[in-house]
A and B are shown apart, each in its own frame.
Chain A
Amino acid sequence: MSKIESNVEFVRKEDAPVLPPPINQVGLIGWLWRNGISSMINFSTITGSIQSVLMILLTVVVLYLGLNGIWTLVDFAFIQAIWSDADELKRLACATTLQGGSLPEEWFGACWPFIAAKSKLLIYGVYDIDEIWRVNLTYLILLVGIGWVVIEKMPYRFHVGIFLLVIYPIVAFVLLTGGNLEIANSTLIIMILVSLLISVFCFLIYRGFLGEGFLAAYTVFNAIRYLSIYITMVTIIFTSDFGLVTVETDKWGGLLVTLVVAITGIVASLPLGILLALGRRSSMPVIRLLCVLFIEFWRGVPLITVLFMASFMLPLFLPEGTDFNKLLRALIGVTLFSAAYMAEVIRGGLQAIPKGQFEAASGLGLSYYQTSRLIILPQALVLVIPGIVNTFIGLFKDTTLVLIISLFDLLGMIQSSFADPNWSTPVQSLTGYLAVATIFWVILFSMSRYSMFMEKKLRYEH
């Protein structure tokens, strides 16, 4: 050990030894120490002792309540639960002796055969039995696609992602509805003409015939051209006959409705939110004002109101006899609603990007659109992944609200199945809600974990 001899002059003669950390810093003991023990065993002072005693009491209470809750759940869902109904007794399989069944008086457990009996309803609604393969195929493509994109080792992940975003929605639409959409030929011709006109317009701009003002905004017009061509082509596909029986959306239900509403909302609200967020920061006052109005309008009304309006008010404004699909109305409502929230989340990310990034980019001659796409958005979106996923999760849960415009999602389906007298027992609703809650929890928890993983990965890559 080297000792400082004088107050002024000091020269170290030998290196100080490198020592292992104290025992309470590493391993299991370290973990326990850092996570609580350290705050419980300080009895050297009076305040310290009081604090320690309080911490011990608090820990005991919390552990007791937590374990008790977990035990109640495990007991209900697994230990006491009835798992099969081999004799087709239906409600009697889950009834105590007093209720006409054969279970002991104090029995209280889940009635899983009820869920099994309703599983078709929960997954497909009342979708035509013979056509259920179409729903299964849609589910399957989605599962494989998402799995493919999520697993890092897979080749062509980017292409599969593009497929999921651009082509899959069309495939899903045709499979689920059967295509064969009825649209007046005149409408179709108008759409084709409009796309053609926009294309010609773009060509003129590109050649510089319309002056430099337009040339500067060529990227925008080109994007509009691609969008209009895409929409027209999609419409043509939707109206084509694929030999599939039409299944009305009234017959859809359960998980199918939940997923259709949630996924459409998620896929559509992200790009819309990005555009709105950029628009809100635009230097053009008109665009900025429009975006602010849009965002603040949708943020200012509860989703329930939006759905009510879409369902009951909108028809009043449309010409009589127009049949505007109820599911479609809900989809538009949910999408616009989430887009407004998404826009605010993304705007937060945009604000966190230092001004220097814009300056460096424009100093290099990159245009506004190139700067946004190549420099600003990639950074901003990574920053707000937690917020984006949070909005997704909120949206997913909010899909249950479509119940009030009598669309039957998972929750709606299970609730309507409570009316079935064949299965009416005191545990019927508890079992049903538990099942639905579990499905929601599994989906949302995976989303949350995946986002945490992505966030970490993208942070480290930089």
Chain B
Amino acid sequence: MEKEMIRTDASPKGKNGDHVIEIVSMNKWFGSFHVLRDINLSVREGERIVVCGPSGSGKSTLIRCINRLEQHQDGIIRVDGIELTEDLKKIDRIRSEVGMVFQHFNLFPHLTILENCTLAQIWVRKTPKKEAEALAMQFLEKVKIPEQASKYPGQLSGGQQQRVAIARSLCMQPKIMLFDEPTSALDPEMIKEVLDTMIELAQEGMTMIVVSHEMGFARQVADRVIFMDDGQIVEQNEPESFFNDPKSDRTKLFLSQILGH
């Protein structure tokens, strides 16, 4: 119910203005290897997109292009109206508006949880330390681990670390959150706590692109599921139709493999 409300909330705003991410005929090569082929994708504000596909299909590369951890060689990527080019200043602006959560958390092991969350605020946003800490605590409470603030990442479980990573990104108050297989390095009993955090985030209307094979999560929160194979977007649909009635053979094959026997 609530999900529906947000979706209708977010979409009808307008036709052009509310596309926060626009990718047009984008191509990318690693050396001579054509890793992303003719990618076209638009994401509206508040939309939740789940990307799936076999390993090596270019999912990570695609979302890394969106915050320019990778550079594309051809086509256009526009984030929040800003086109991604060589321009350093624009890249910095994009990066502060796009949060990213990684498969292996990538917390800074030499800093406490609190310092992990305040570092970028202090050095990039130039927020005074007190304010930064207050905001960090607020987000640590949101991901339900304020009591771990003074510990080091190595002392936390995988699920807790991933929630800290989410809080760390949120501290920069991004407009868009990218998740690259956030639960695939976790032990089974910890997957739920991370997914719950993400669901909560989705319910608040955050624009999210999530690379994940958690089909339950996709069904529950996704507005669209995108299937990638071989560097291309092969199929895209609403979750129900995507899972129940896949159109392409490649999608069918993939779904049969991940959904089991």
Please list the residues of chain A having a beta carbon within 8 angstroms of any beta carbon in chain B.
212, 215-216, 354, 356-357, 359-367, 370, 374-375, 378-379, 382, 461-462
Contact = CB atoms under 8 A, between A and B. Distances in A.
A365 B95 contact: yes
Interface in B21-56: none
B109 A374 contact: no
B119 interface: yes
Contacts of A374: 119, 123
B100 A356 contact: no
A212 B88 contact: yes
Residue from A215, A360, A370, A382 whose CB has the most chain B CB atoms within 10 Å: A360
B96 interface: yes
Contacts of A354: 104, 106
B102 interface: yes
B32 to A, nearest CB: 21
Contact of A365 (B87, B124, B152, B154): B124
Nearest to B98: A363
B89 interface: yes
B120 interface: yes
B168 interface: yes
B108 interface: yes
Q: Please list the 8 inter-chain residue pairs (A to B) with the smallest Cβ-Cβ separation, ordered nearest first.
A: A360-B106, A364-B120, A356-B106, A365-B124, A365-B95, A363-B100, A365-B96, A216-B88
A357 B106 contact: yes
A359 B152 CA distance: 20
A364 B110 contact: no
A92 to B, nearest CB: 63
A212 B169 CA distance: 27
Given A356-B104, A364-B120, A365-B95, 11 more contacts: A356-B102, A356-B106, A360-B102, A360-B165, A364-B96, A364-B169, A365-B172, A366-B119, A366-B120, A367-B92, A378-B110
Given A212-B88, A356-B102, A370 B108 contact: no
A299 to B, nearest CB: 30
Contacts of B89: 212, 215-216
A252 B172 CA distance: 58
Contacts of B152: 461-462
A335 B96 CA distance: 41
10 contacts: A354-B106, A360-B102, A364-B96, A364-B124, A364-B172, A366-B123, A370-B123, A378-B110, A462-B109, A462-B152
Contacts of A366: 119-120, 123-124
Residue from A359, A363, A367, A379 whose CB has the most chain B CB atoms within 10 Å: A363
B174 to A, nearest CB: 10
Contacts of B96: 364-365
Interface in B82-119: 87-89, 92, 95-96, 98-100, 102, 104, 106-110, 119
Interface in B149-186: 152, 154, 165, 168-169, 172
Interface in B129-162: 152, 154
Residue from A359, A367, A379 whose CB has the most chain B CB atoms within 10 Å: A359
B67 interface: yes
Contact of A363 (B88, B95, B119): B95
A462 B152 CA distance: 6
B212 to A, nearest CB: 18
B69 interface: yes
Contacts of B69: 359, 362-363
A365 B99 CA distance: 9
Nearest to A378: B110
A3 to B, nearest CB: 32
A375 B119 CA distance: 10
B106 A365 contact: no
Contacts of B100: 359-360, 363
Nearest to A375: B108
A364 B88 contact: no
Given A356-B104, A357-B106, A364-B95, A462 B154 contact: yes
Nearest to B107: A360
A359 B95 contact: no
A65 to B, nearest CB: 45
Contacts of B98: 363
A228 B31 CA distance: 42
B224 to A, nearest CB: 24
B92 A359 contact: no
Contacts of A357: 106, 108
B87 A212 contact: yes
A374 B89 CA distance: 21
A362 B95 contact: yes
Contacts of A382: 110
A461 B96 CA distance: 30
Nearest to B124: A365
Contacts of A362: 69, 95
Nearest to A364: B120
A388 to B, nearest CB: 17
A363 B67 contact: yes
Contacts of B108: 357, 360-361, 375, 379
A392 B87 CA distance: 42
A16 B79 CA distance: 62
B59 to A, nearest CB: 16
B106 A359 contact: yes
